[in-house]
Structure 1
């Protein structure tokens, strides 16, 4: 196949439904509320999570600076490198709770920002936030309507609850990446960008190759605010090509 030829588009598969909302979050965000409660009467995993948060300098910094989560620093680093958020841009955030990325997008000049999550997201001035399963038919169009047209930037920090079975957990992660990538490819304006959470060392089911066929450049970044022991990385797809 020559470089000018595009691989045929796959027919859009029936959207996968997320069967249940995350269990580790709160109404104020994915596991990080306005205050971190004591570990009394919590499960061992919850107690361990709280200890990590209390000992985490990025979480301390986020609370001190008014960011909803430490993830805000991940997006800021990515944006510092690639200038994704521009004055007047339209941004959609998938898996937005507790709202740190929405805060960053607005702070850096985005004109319209819409976020969706299974968990409720506390109001952020200037942002359009909905509690819904993104895979439900019609939610994608609702997000586009909220920002007034095609996005300039699609962000995805969506994550499944893990069940401890490595292969099953991996397949769920890949399914979310596929769903977010499909949405970005379908809706982004030409020249737009896409950022999604991924993980090192695993088969991405062809998603990365598909992104490379629709964007000028795809980069892998591990932000400093990602936990050192985590395999978490972010794919940054730049300059969506015209179809």
Structure 2
């Protein structure tokens, strides 16, 4: 501890094979209070607190019975769901292998695969009342391309939610700076009674990420 009572910032020396950017990332990780708290609380990533903070504000998990976690890896969001809604059925899906989580059914496959919705619904025992997506497309380093790729993924997740939610359900997804593009916004406002954007405190200030929260799914008449 420093004389002021605050933890001293951990500084990382630049290794011969480590780039300056990776050194900055490592230093940020070592000094991030959410990273430290996640280790203490047993969460797999600091991202868990983003969902927890969104839940505190929007009561997403209140009464949740069936939850789908799109892009579950590494599993922090599903851990929060299990903690806050222990009776809910939870199913996660990801192209990446994800270590097992007690009480969560995990599929290693593409959520856009033709047979994915049926498998997820069967595992849940019915239509989902909450679809979560903390996904982002792999970046290529070109800002506009990266934005389009991620927003395309968000739109696919939104259509998944529209096709697989029970009446009154909710959809939460990560979007990038500028929020939800017009086509996606029209889609969400058509199918949900409330559509809002939020940036939880756990989301780094320098990050371009925001979250769209769509609640009150309107089933087709």
The bucket for the TM-score relative to the shorter chain is 0.7 to 0.9
1:227 aligns with 2:204: yes
Tell me how large the CA RMSD over aligned residues is. 2.0
Query: Aligned to 1:125, which of 102, 107, 129?
Result: 102
**Runs of 5+ consecutive residues of structure 2 not aligned to the other structure:** 1-14
1:106 aligns with 2:82: yes
Contact 2:151 2:176 (C-alpha < 8 Å) held by counterparts? no
Query: Aligned to 1:52, which of 11, 28, 41?
Result: 28
1:181 aligns with 2:145: no
CA distance in 2, matches of 1:87, 1:238: 13
Count of equivalent residues: 206
1:144 aligns with 2:121: yes
Question: Which portions of structure 1, spanning 4 or more consecutive aligned residues, are displaced by more than 3 angstroms?
Answer: 39-48
CA distance in 2, matches of 1:117, 1:47: 29
Query: Aligned to 1:94, which of 52, 63, 70?
Result: 70
In structure 2, the residue matched to 1:75 is 51
Q: Which has the higher strand share?
A: 2
In structure 1, the residue matched to 2:8 is none
Choose 189-198 or 43-52, whichever is displaced more.
43-52
Deviations 1:49-96 (A, max 9, x none): 332211111111111111111111111111111211134610000011
Deviations 1:78-116 (A, max 9, x none): 111121113461000001111011011111124200111
CA distance in 1, matches of 2:160, 2:131: 8
CA distance in 1, matches of 2:170, 2:135: 17
Contact 1:106 1:126 (C-alpha < 8 Å) held by counterparts? yes
Deviation of 1:40 after TM superposition, in Å, equals 8.1
Q: Which has the higher helix share?
A: 2
Which has the higher Rg, Structure 1 or Structure 2?
2
What is the TM-score of this pair, normalised by structure 2? Answer: 0.86
* Paired residue secondary structure (1:230): coil
Contact 2:45 2:74 (C-alpha < 8 Å) held by counterparts? yes
* Paired residue secondary structure (1:189): strand
